[in-house]
Amino acid sequence: MVKSGFGLFEELFGKGFSKDDVYSGMHKAINPRAAAIQESFVQALASGDKKYLAKSVKDYEKDMRDSLNSDFMKAYGLGALLVDELDLAYDALVKFPRKRSVSEALALIKYTKEDYVLAAALFLGSDYRVQTSRVLHSLSIYNSKQKNSEDIGTHNFLLSPHLDSLAPANNIMGVLNFNSEAYSSAVDYFAKAKELSESSEKTWLNWMRAMKADGLESEMYPEMPRFYALTGSSLGLEDLTAELDKNKLEMPVVKVKNLFGIVKQLLA
């Protein structure tokens, strides 16, 4: 009978030797060359030497692909992130011992690269340590254009923890409901988003569109002075009328701010 590789390990080293031990050992092993490269990356990260990192992530790409050492991959991946080499950063960190925080870091990288299908899949393995990750997961699902990407129940499940605190979460739910012609619900979501982000012209316009679609124009117009005062909008009557006639709304654009700092914290 042919024994598995791990069966042979157990026979040689005892039953207490597990697959996790092998996996851990693989991610601790490092050769002198890789150790020297890792140290140079750590020093460059500490000093913010982007010129060195921009050159080194290219020079040592093969070393990254050959290595399984987690400390090396972390140093290389963060160095690549700092100089906006997101593909190389992902390729290094995807080999990192998989934890939920690592999945979240990888999801944020893929979201930034607009690879929404993979980002949505990676967010499933995260625990949403970053405040906006649920919003970004929702947008990844929507922008992936996969089956059920506009399912309101799915997005509500993801966003419900933030509907009292984050305007983008309410804007997403408002857009989904508006585009499904559930105008009354859209009004409620946009009203909450407006409350949380009073100076956002786009949020105000979405609220007014929903109010108009729901037949509530008479209640909308008294709010116009506040709209101009709070947003500083320069829209004239003709342009405003054209904006309110839109019958399909676009999702809010939410970018990942300080991707390097967030990923560094997630990998700590």
- pLDDT, tens digit (0-9, with 9 covering 90-100), for 39-82: 999 999 999 999 999 999 999 999 999 988 889 999 999 999 99
Percent of the chain at pLDDT exceeding 90:
75
Side chain identity at residue 157, one-letter code: F
Mean pLDDT estimate for the chain: 88
Cα 82 from Cα 44, distance rounded (Å) = 10
CB-CB contact of 152 with 173 (8 Å): yes
Banded model confidence at residue 20, pLDDT cuts 50, 70, 90: very low
For 96, the token pair is 């990192």
Residue 147 has pLDDT above 90, yes or no: no
Residue 227 has pLDDT above 50, yes or no: yes
30: number of CA atoms within 13 Å, CB side?
17
CB-CB contact of 203 with 167 (8 Å): yes
Residue 27 has pLDDT above 60, yes or no: no
Percent of the chain at pLDDT exceeding 70:
89
Cα 59 from Cα 127, distance rounded (Å) = 35
> Residue 170: CB partners within 8 Å, gap ≥ 6?
163, 189, 190, 192, 193, 196
135: number of CA atoms within 13 Å, CB side?
19
pTM: 0.84
For residue 10, the model assigns a pLDDT of 45
> Residue 8: CB partners within 8 Å, gap ≥ 6?
none
Q: Which domains are seen in the chain, by residue range?
A: 114-268 (1.25.40.10)
Residue 262 has pLDDT above 90, yes or no: yes
Of 9-18, 172-181, 212-221, which range is least confident? 9-18
Q: In this structure, what DSSP letter does residue 197 have?
A: -
Residue 229 has pLDDT above 70, yes or no: yes
For residue 18, the model assigns a pLDDT of 44
